[in-house]
Amino acid sequence: MQPRKRIGERLIEAGLITQEQLQIALQEQKKTGELIGAILYGNGFITQKDLFTVLSMSYSGEYTKEKEEEMDLPRDITDIVRQSRAVLRTTIRDVDKISDISMAPVVRLVEQIIVTGMKKRATDIHIGPDVKGTRIRYRIDGLLQHAMYLPKDMLPAIVSRVKILGAMNIAESRIPQDGSTEFVWETKVFDIRISTFPLTGGENIVMRILDKSQLLLGLDNLGFLANDIETLKKSLSVPYGMIIVTGPTGSGKTTTLYSALSTINSVFKNIFTIEDPVEYQLPLIRQSQINVKAGLTFAAGLRSILRQDPDVILVGEMRDMETAELAIRSALTGHLVFTTLHTNNAASSLPRLIDMGVEPFLLASTIDTIISQRLVRMLCNNCKEAYSPSSEMRESIGVAVPENAVFFMAKGCKECNDTGYRGRTIIYEIMKMNESLRKLILVKSGSDTLAAAARKGGMEPMYETGIRKVVLGLTSLEEVISTTRTAY
C-alpha cells in the first residue's frame, strides 16, 4: 500500500494553494507546531470547505471505523456553520430570546468540542478569539495542541452556550465568570469547571475536564518508585507533624495529597480538608471548599476545623502568613497536617515560609517531609525507539547510569497523535527532616545550603529521579531535562 500523501501535497495537486504558500505555512509550523491545514486556513490561503474536502480525500481508500469517527467532527462543523448563520448574527443580549430549535446546531457543536476533548484525553479545552477566527485548542499531557479554527462570528453563540451549561450570566461579558457542570459521555460522568475571561476580540473560555474514573489513588499509581513509597509510608505513619508537597501549578500536587490521604483513610480517623476547589470527593473524608465572598478563607476554615476534633487536616495551600502559621501550630499541637506550596524544589520551601513570617523554630519542630514534584510525559509504548547513549552523552548527564543502559526517544504514531508521548508520570525529590537540617533552619540558611545537607542525608534530587525513569524506559532524556531546568 502506497503511503498517504500529505495534506499540503494534496492541496497543491488540487490547485488550491501554491508551493510558495505551502512553504510559508511549513515555516510557521516549525515555530508553532500547529497542524499544516489549520495554518493554511488561518492565513487565508484556503477556505474551510477546501480543508474539509481535502481531509475527506486523504481518508479515502483504507477507511476504518476510527478514521470515520475522526471525520465526524469536520462534517458536523460544516453542517453547523451552514445552519447557524442566523443564530450567529444575533448579539449576546438577544441569545436568551433564541428558541431551542434555532440554537440546536450550536448546542451540537459545543457538545462535539467537549466530546472530542474527552476522546483525546484532554485536561483542558481552550476556546477564544484569534486574529482570523475562533481558535480551539486542547491541553493533552500538559501541552496545548491546536485543534481547529471556526469562523469568528461563531464565538458569541459558543460562549453563550457554554455559559448556559455552567449556569453563568449570558448577558454579562465585561467581567470574568466561573461555573461548572456535569457531562455524561459513554456512561462516564465528568465534572467540567468553566472559566470565562473578557478579551478585546471577545470572551475566552477554558474548560477543565475532571474524569473521576481516571483518578487512580495510591502512591504506586502515581509513579513513586518502590523504595520511595516505603519512605513515604513511614512519613504518613507519624501521629502529628507537617507534610508539604511543592511544585508549580499542574504538577499533580493535589493528586499526591489525595493519594496520601487515601493511604491513611480509616473510619477510626477524623480527616478534614479545606480546598480551592474540591476536585474529587473522597469517601469518609470531610471536604470543604473556600468561599472568600462568604468569609470562608483558608485561615478561617482552618480555625473552625480545629474545633471539629480532627486527627488529620489537609490545607489546600499556604498562601499567606496567617494560614501558614495556623497550619504549623496545628501540626505542633497534635495534628497531622498536609499542605502545598508553590516552590521550585523541596529546599526552597523552608526559606519561603520564613520569608512569609513563620518563626524558624516552628518549622524545625513541625515539618517532617517535603515532596517536590513535576509531571513528565511518558513515551508512547507503541512507537518509542531505543538507542544506546554515547560516552559524551553519559558524561553530560552527570549521573551514573548502567553500562548496558538503553535509552528511548520519542518518534510519533497514530496512537499518540504523532507526539511520541502518551500519558504522564511524576519525577520528584523527598526531603526528610533530620537534625542537621533543623539546625540549619534555626540559623535561616539558604536553599542551596539546605539542599546540600538534604542530599548528604540521602535525598535524591528530582533530576536524578528523572534519570532513573529514563533508564527504565518510561520517559526521554529530553523530557527530564526540559522539565527540571527551572527546578534548581
Those residues whose C-beta lies under 8 Å from the C-beta of residue 134, and which sit 6 or more positions away, are 127, 128, 149, 150, 151, 152, 154, 155, 158, 202
Res. 38 pLDDT band, cuts 50 70 90: confident
Q: What average pLDDT does the segment 33-59 reach?
A: 70
Question: To which H or E segment does residue 222 belong?
Answer: helix 219-222
For residues 382 and 408, what is the distance between their CA atoms, to the nearest angstrom? 12
Check residue 110 and give its pLDDT: 92
Check residue 55 and give its pLDDT: 63
> Quick one: cell of 398?
552527570
Chain centre to alpha carbon of residue 359: 34
Q: What average pLDDT does the segment 67-91 reach?
A: 51
Check residue 99 and give its pLDDT: 45
The CATH code belonging to domain 219-484 is 3.40.50.300
Domain boundaries, the chain: 1-62, 64-211, 219-484
Average model confidence (pLDDT) for the chain?
Answer: 86
Q: Do residues 177 and 203 make contact, with C-beta atoms less than 8 angstroms apart?
A: no
Check residue 78 and give its pLDDT: 55
Res. 73 pLDDT band, cuts 50 70 90: low
pLDDT in tens, 399-433: 989 888 999 999 999 888 889 999 999 999 999 99
Check residue 50 and give its pLDDT: 74
The pLDDT of residue 440 is above 90: yes
Check residue 62 and give its pLDDT: 44
Res. 256 pLDDT band, cuts 50 70 90: very high
pLDDT in tens, 297-318: 999 999 999 999 999 999 999 9
Q: Which residues pair with 223 in a beta bridge?
A: none
CATH class, range 64-211: alpha beta
pLDDT in tens, 193-243: 999 999 999 999 999 998 876 666 788 888 999 999 999 999 999 999 999
Check residue 103 and give its pLDDT: 57
The pTM of this model reads 0.78
Coil/strand/helix, residue 22: helix
Res. 464 pLDDT band, cuts 50 70 90: very high
pLDDT in tens, 88-121: 444 444 444 444 644 567 888 899 899 999 999 9
- Strand 336-341 and strand 241-246: the pairing is parallel
Most confident of 35-39, 108-112, 294-298: 294-298
Angle between helices 65-88 and 48-58 (to 10 degrees): 170
Check residue 361 and give its pLDDT: 95
Those residues whose C-beta lies under 8 Å from the C-beta of residue 204, and which sit 6 or more positions away, are 126, 127, 128, 129, 196, 197, 198
Q: Which residue is listed with cell 481516571?
A: 214
pLDDT in tens, 131-175: 878 999 999 999 998 888 888 888 999 999 999 999 999 999 999
